[in-house]
Amino acid sequence: MSASRRPALLATDPELASFVAAEEVLQAQTLRLIPSENYVSAAVLEASGTVLQNKYSEGYPGRRYYEGQQNIDRVEALAIERAKGLFGVDHANVQPYSGSPANLAVYLAFAKPGDTVMGMALPMGGHLTHGWGVSATGSWFRGVQYGVQQDTGLIDYDAVRDLALAERPKILFCGGTALPRTIDFAAFASIAEEAGSVLVADVAHIAGLIAGGAHPSPAGHVDVISTTTHKTLRGPRGAMLMCREEHAKAIDKAVFPGLQGGPHNQTTAGIAVALHEAAQPSFTAYAHAVVANAKALAAQLLERGFDLVSGGTDNHLILIDLTGKAVPGKTAAKALDRAGIVVNYNTVPFDTRKPFDPSGIRIGTPSLTSRGLGVDHMPQVADWISRAVDAAAKGDERALAAIRAEVTDLMSAHPAPGLPLS
């Protein structure tokens, strides 16, 4: 890595500059399989590091509390229009700082403390902010959770309906953080209508797949769509809330002034660039390739004796139950990391182990697809995972080192987008 790429940082804070350089090398040399991570383009990186950082812009385009917003208004309006066009929605708010605050804004817009809210249980694949107990959303609101069937790993929509009709939640969340199967938004819409609930689709993980036509869209089915702008969408670390026109004022008021002050304008610019990129035919091809790679990798893992929650995947994500391999998820994840394969340990439905030392690992294909790996590479990836898990069981560090060398060789042949490495 050339130090001249960041001469001011290197001169001012060489210690921090060395950490950034080391991270660039790590991202370049490792096989990143965390499904919530990706590589942004050089254009998104550039937009995220502009002088827009210098501006305070409380309010919305044309309605600011600060002067000098002529250019900021144009940047935010551009991001809004691109979001509306890409996702086919009436209204978009691109100001939330991240996914969790975006979801909190939904609560502020439609519920009061103590109201009943409903979402998928965290151990079943849901998200903390869907009313789970350790989250503020589970402390301030009465959270009730649905799950998946133990024999199939799939959502039982009849059971969701029964729970919703019994509890009548103000807000019903669909979507999650470890769901390998397609979400039936129409089925959730029918349940929400019958229960009198505001339906929110949290599509943080699959927004890019939706934008690229590789997953059905919630638009037209749900009241609100919440999403981060990174993950499969390949934008900066931010979030968006999109909704029907009737909810626009409530959503905007909840974001600002309800929860936050001025937006991060440099992030808004990065979001605008990412949305532009996601509207291109090449992104459609990318989204479908992500799914094709995930399905191919799942099939290869099944051949090697791995137990996959729900038996496979419809999207970018694979949840592996390692109980049958006699290796805890945390042990496997750390061994894979030493082998140059980056995953996260994760609970699996009906897990008997503790969340910080669970039975599973969660993997996905967004990052490797961004590097140009295809279906033909998935047998090799599955083989590395299998060998690394076996090595973890045996404590074989030499085997892990051998895998890491092989991973580094393949990664060097497939440069990552946006990384400033020659």
- Tell me the C-alpha distance between 182 and 26, whole Å: 32
Distance, first Cα to last Cα, the chain: 7
414 annotated as belonging to a binding site for a ligand: no
122 annotated as belonging to a binding site for a ligand: yes
Cα four-point dihedral sign 293, 366, 408, 325:
negative
Q: DSSP alpha helices (H): ranges in 125-255?
A: 136-140, 157-167, 185-195, 207-211, 248-253
Residue 61: which residues within 8 A CB-CB, separation 6 or more? 69, 72, 73, 74, 76, 77, 80
**Would you state the structure tokens that stand for residue 391, as one six-digit string?**
């090595």
Task: Report whether 366 contacts 411 (CB < 8 A).
Answer: no
128 annotated as belonging to a binding site for a ligand: yes
Angle 286-279-233 from CA coordinates, rounded to 5°: 55
- Tell me the C-alpha distance between 163 and 144, whole Å: 8
How are strands ordered across the β-sheet holding 307-308? 307-308, 317-321, 360-364, 344-346
Please give the radius of gyration of the chain, using alpha carbons only, rounded to the nearest integer: 22
> Burial letters for 351-375: b for 16+ Cβ neighbours within 10 Å, e otherwise?
bebeeeebbbbbbbbbbbbbbebee
- Tell me the C-alpha distance between 91 and 85, whole Å: 10
**Would you state the structure tokens that stand for residue 184, as one six-digit string?**
């039936």
245 annotated as belonging to a binding site for a ligand: yes
The residues that are catalytic are 56, 58, 202, 228, 231, 237
Binding region for (6S)-5,6,7,8-tetrahydrofolate: 122, 126-128, 245
